[in-house]
Structure 1
Amino acid sequence: MAPWSTYRKTAGIGAVALATALLISACGGESTTTTAEGSAAPSAAGGVELVNPGKLTTCTNVPYEPFQFNDENGKVVGFDVDIVDLVAKKLGVTQDIVDIDFAAIKSGAAMNARKCDLAAAGMTITDERKQNIDFSVPYFDSTQALMAKKGSGITSLEDVKAKGLKLGAQASTTGLMYVKDKGYDPVEFADSPKELNGLQAGRVDVIIQDLPVVLTWLKKSDVGEKFEMVASLDTGEQYGVGMKKGNTELLKVVDEVINAAKADGTYNEIYKKWFGTEPPTSS
């Protein structure tokens, strides 16, 4: 995605530090192995330092289908998982996934607290987030979409205001900031499943969410029978893998892996697996 500096405001240093400490202490997701604070960090191929020995620990926010979600066996799978698996293979380790609040991911708090080595969570690259974390090269082109009941008559974001309808959005996302910057005051939901449930339960009349997520929801019979995508908003977004600022060794490997996967066709195979089509030529 293109950087969205206009969609972010920089908080004071003291406020950010306090919020970060409170947020991390409240987050419950943890990996199965830990490294004692202050101990020497284990390394993988190429001297990349990892927070847990033999594992590339990834922070994400589940579910966010099809990027990361639990399959019928409870295993976290998805497009992002497959991309990071390529990085783990390059490093000669396995991927370990930590489910954590998205706010702790985008702020860099999760990686600063050594909860994980990197973050892959369908995360848009923005100027505000670049202040807190380093991003890989873009690995996915995205945009936003509006979803509502069939026959709602909504065809644009402007219709929401004109018809006096309630708009819903997922907290801490670029979709939320997009509509806020256009003067809307949406109902905020903690995660994407709660956002969808809010629409289904009638708490809101229309929701804004990343287009791939909306399309995945609509494939489900109980959703597709009653709801539809009513508008696509070309926001020019791109997703990136996030890392702790200054972690240049890991950043270099992640960039190399993404670029190689796009060059040798592996990326196309993963894309088609999860989206059922070839990626756009710009990817």
Structure 2
Amino acid sequence: MPHLRPATRVLAALAAAAALTLSGCGSDDGGSSSATSDGELATLTPGKLTIATGDPAYSPWVEDDKPESGKGFEAAVAYAVADELGFDKADVTWVRTTFDAAIAPGPKDFDFNLQQFSITDERKKGVDFSSPYYTTVPALVSVEGSKGADATDLAGVKDSLIGVATGTTTLKAVEDLVKPSQKVKIFNSNEDAVQALKSKQIDVLAVDLPTAFYLAAAELDNGKVIGQLDTSEGGDQFGLVLPKGSDLTAAVTKAVDTLRENGTLDELAQEWLADKVDAPVLK
């Protein structure tokens, strides 16, 4: 290496320091950093985290329509993400939006929003998504008194007449895991399948778990979620929605990834989507 004169060495050192400073301030995508100059995340309101959910918000995602309680799967996930980002519960502010307004392009009044938004390429054109905090699983729903409605394991529904909508991954899960003794009855749509359950043309309906919760609570008289099937293959992935190009997207995604890797998301799903609502994983 050639010998540098003192002045040259000083200039080289200054250039290297400047390069390090610039590289530390930039973001991977060339956009602005997710932190302000004092190290705080660049949230909608400095020092606060504004989280949105639906109006109303339903169990088991939010209990009693009170997300601030932290009760319910998505309310609990929201506070877990906030904690990873460095926000105390007292620093979280909740707002409400419709589902459609949240995923429409344009300015938002929240830092992130969660109300069972499936991550799709079409939606990504208008908003950002975090990495997935939940992947839907198939579930079995029925009505009290139907064959298989009181089952506690796969053997208990094996001889039931099970219905499923065409074009879903749920059919394969039923055939592979339940191995029903009767041929699964396939319908053109979920609406047709629900009507068949109501009219007792089938004993049990296989849908994704969020749909099962909704049907049991709102559509079916004496509806009951029998349980979940032990697979997430092909299920929809739910992500936190952020404004398009948000400075927080990377930080929020990192927080969700940490919660997935350390088992927190699985623990919350077990607590709120299995134990609390009596929707066990059927074996």
TM-score by length of 1: 0.53
Question: What corresponds to 2:123 in structure 1?
Answer: 129
Post-superposition offset of 1:116: 0.7
Aligned partners of 1:149 and 1:226 also within 8 Å: yes
Aligned partners of 1:214 and 1:229 also within 8 Å: no
Residue type matched to 2:120 in 1?
Answer: T
- Between the two proteins, the alignment pairs up a number of residues equal to 196
Alignment identity in percent? 24
5+ long unaligned stretches in structure 1: 1-41, 159-181, 188-195, 278-283
Task: Tell whether 2:266 aligns with 1:268.
Answer: yes
Task: Tell whether 2:86 aligns with 1:91.
Answer: yes
CA distance in 2, matches of 1:226, 1:185: 16
Post-superposition offset of 1:124: 0.6
Q: Using a 3 Å threshold, how does the CA distance of structure 1 residues 73 and 271 change in structure 2: closer, same or farther?
A: closer
Question: What corresponds to 1:250 in structure 2?
Answer: 248
CA distance in 2, matches of 1:123, 1:267: 16
Matches within 5 A, 1:98-177: 98-108=95-105, 112-143=106-137, 149=143, 151=146, 155-157=163-165
Q: Using a 3 Å threshold, how does the CA distance of structure 1 residues 224 and 230 change in structure 2: closer, same or farther?
A: farther
Instruction: Give the RMSD, CA atoms, in angstroms.
Output: 4.5
Which SS does the other structure have where 2:135 is aligned? strand
CA distance in 1, matches of 2:60, 2:223: 21
CA distance in 1, matches of 2:125, 2:57: 26
* 1:118-165 CA-partner distances (Å, limit 9, x unpaired): 11111110111111111111111104668565649661226xxxxxxx
Post-superposition offset of 1:96: 1.7
CA distance in 2, matches of 1:270, 1:228: 19
Post-superposition offset of 1:57: 1.0
Runs of 4+ deviating beyond 6 Å: 205-209, 229-234
Which SS does the other structure have where 1:138 is aligned? strand
CA distance in 2, matches of 1:45, 1:211: 43
* 1:58-105 CA-partner distances (Å, limit 9, x unpaired): 121132322224268984632222222123222335222212111111
Aligned partners of 1:57 and 1:98 also within 8 Å: yes
Task: Tell whether 2:57 aligns with 1:63.
Answer: yes
Residue type matched to 2:113 in 1?
Answer: A
CA distance in 1, matches of 2:59, 2:108: 26
Aligned partners of 2:50 and 2:110 also within 8 Å: yes
TM-score by length of 2: 0.53
5+ long unaligned stretches in structure 2: 1-34, 148-160, 167-186, 276-283
CA distance in 1, matches of 2:207, 2:93: 27
Residue type matched to 1:155 in 2?
Answer: G
Residue type matched to 1:240 in 2?
Answer: G
Which SS does the other structure have where 1:70 is aligned? helix
